[in-house]
Structure 1
Amino acid sequence: MLPMTDATAARRAPHDRRRGLMLVLSSPSGAGKTTLSRRLLSQDDDITLSVSVTTRPMRPGEVDGVDYHFIDRPSFDRMVAEEALLEHATVFENSYGTPRAAVEATLADGRDVLFDIDWQGTQQLADRARDDLVTVFILPPSIAELERRLTTRAQDSAEVVAKRMAKAADEMSHYAEYDYVLVNEDVDRTLADLEAILRAERLRRRRRLGLSGFVNAMREGAGR
C-alpha cells in the first residue's frame, strides 16, 4: 500500500472520509477501454486520469501533459533508475510509465486515479500497492469485432493493425489476473457495470479512514 497522509479531502463527512483507489482498465487495443475511460471521467469528479510518460511520438490531436507527458529515452531511463515510476513497460518499441508522486498525492487526498495500462504495468502496480488497486479487464465481444474497430478508427497503418491483432491473443490470456472482467458488447451497459464496481470498491472498510473514529464516537455516546 502506498504511504498514507492526513490530507484526505475535507469536503466529506467524517464517516465518508476515505483513501483513494487506483482503478486499472486493461484490454487489447480496440476493445473500448479508451471510450469507457473518457465517459467515466466526464461524469465522476472523484476520479482523475493518470497521465503517463512515454517515449513514443505525439499523434495528431494529442496534447503534451494531457494525453501523455512526451519525453525522450534518456529522461525515461533516468526516471526508471530513480524509481520515480510506479510501473513501466515497453510496447511496440515505445516505453510508457506512471509517475509516482502525482498518484500518491491524489490517493492521499481521497480521490481515485484511473489507469489505462497493459497487464505488465498492472502486475507492477500489484507488486507495489495491491491494497490500493482495483483491476478490470475489458474483452471485445469477438475477434472479428476487434479487428473491425481497429481498422475503422484509421489511426494506424495496416501493418500496425496486424501487429495489434497478433498481440491480442497474448493480452487476453492474462484476463484471469484481474479482479473483474467485462465483455464490452454494449458500451452503455459496460459503463454501468464499471460504475457499479467503482461504487462498491469505494465502500470497502479498509479505505474508509473516518469510519473507526465515527463508530467509536457513537459507542461512547451510547454508553453515557
Structure 2
Amino acid sequence: MTRHYAIVPAAGSGSRFGAEMPKQYLPLAGRPLIHHTLDALCRCPLIDRVWVVLSPGDEHWSAWDWSVLGPKLETVYCGGATRAQSVGNGLAAAETVVADDDWVLVHDAARPCVSQAMLRALCAELADDPVGGLLAAPVADTLKRADGEQRVLATEPRDGLWQAQTPQMFRYGLLRRALAEHPEVTDEAGAIEAAGFRPRLVRADASNLKVTYPADLALAEAILQRRKEN
C-alpha cells in the first residue's frame, strides 16, 4: 500500500516581497506564515510525514515552538540555492523512509490557505494515475503580453491555460530522477514534463493563493479567518 509524504521547500529569501526577513516567517493571523502551511499538511490524515527543508543558515526557525504541529513534522537544514535543489535535497533526506512508489506532495511554504478538501481531492484524483499531477486553476483573466516599454504588445488567448499551484504530487522515484535530470525547472511538474510525461491538472480555486506581495498577506488572513468562522 502506497503512502503519502509531503516536502515543503522553505530555504528561499522571498526577495519579491521586499521584507527584512524571509516571507515564510512574516506574521499571519498571530503565527508565522509557514505555520499555517505546515499545519494544513500535518492535519491531513492522508499524509504520514512532512519534511520542511530549511536553509543551512536559517536563523528564524528556532525562535518559534513548532511542537504544536505534532509528530509528523521533521526539519532538515539542507536547502539549496534553487527550489529544485531544495526539493531534491529533501527527497534525498527522505530516502530511508519513502519507497519509490510512494507519493510525495511538494507544497510551497508561502501557500498557507490550502484546504483539507483540496488535499483530499488531489490524493483521490491521482490515486490511480500513472504520472501524478498538481493543483491548478483555469486562467480567468484576459492576458496581455507587454513590450519593452510596458505597453500591450498582444492579447493572448487563455483557452486551455491553467495557473499552476501546489501541492504537486508525484511518485518518489520518478520525481527524484526527473529533478536530478532537469534541475533548471521552476516546479516539480516542469521536471516531470521535461522527462516526457504529462501531469494531470486537479482543479482548485484562487483561495489557494501564494503570498508573493504585501497585499497577499491581508487576503490570506481573510481566507483563514473565514474558514475558522465556518
TM-score, scaled relative to structure 1: 0.33
Q: Which has the higher contact order (CA 8 A, sep 6+)?
A: 1
Is the radius of gyration larger for structure 1 or structure 2?
A: 1
TM-score, scaled relative to structure 2: 0.32
The answer to which structure has the higher helix fraction is 1
